[in-house]
Amino acid sequence: MTIAVLALQGAFAEHEKVLDRLGVSHIELRQAGDLKKSFDALILPGGESTVQSKLLKELDMFEPLKKRIENGMPVLATCAGLILLASEIEGQDNCHFGTIPMCVRRNAYGRQLGSFHTEETVGSLGKVPMTFIRAPYVSDVYKDTKILASVEDRIVGVQYNNQLAFAFHPELDEDTRIHEKFLEIVRNSCN
């Protein structure tokens, strides 16, 4: 099993460190040629969703990745990655990949000073540490999108088919259960 980590901008190195701790093979996606390498799943890190989307398009990586996600490739998305997967973004006419039926609010907790840390339940994983940095949240979900986590009545974690998306940064905490849950989805999709 090999996980591809989008490494154009944002907190990709932190995700790679978690994968290293879990003993999981990974590659970085930095240019279109990297898409020819073999990989089973994708991590979309936190950072700036608009910048990531722009670079993906400029580097001719956007459409091939979108097709793979639509065809069931497992994805773990954090913060900006959640915005990339949303089918709707409040206050915008367009979206990016649009592969999870949900609406998100960008920078919902304010600027950098609005960053915070808490612990809440994530699905069957129990209480998980959550670090929010200029975080979005999910304002609405549609179709079969499952809510996995909420903080103060705001949705901060969802699952849609093989896609997991979180408004916080699990890669910044020592707890690896979210990445482990993702790897379980990847293993099941490979069988």
Predicted confidence (pLDDT) per residue in 49-65, tens digit: 889 999 999 999 999 99
Q: pLDDT per residue over 143-177, tens digit each? A: 999 999 999 999 999 999 999 999 999 999 999 99
Spatial distance between the Cα atoms of 147 and 128, rounded to a whole number of angstroms? 15
For position 92, what pLDDT does the model report?
A: 87
103 is catalytic: no
180 is catalytic: no
79 is catalytic: yes
Residue 113: pLDDT over 70: no
Residue 111: pLDDT over 70: no
Given 26, 96, 169, 179, the catalytic residue: 169
Burial 105-138 (b: 16+ CB within 10 A, else e): bbebbeeeeeeeeeebebbeeeebbbbbbbbbbb
| Averaged pLDDT score across all residues of the chain | 93
69: which DSSP letter?
H
% of residues, the chain, pLDDT over 70: 96
Given 15, 16, 79, 179, the catalytic residue: 79
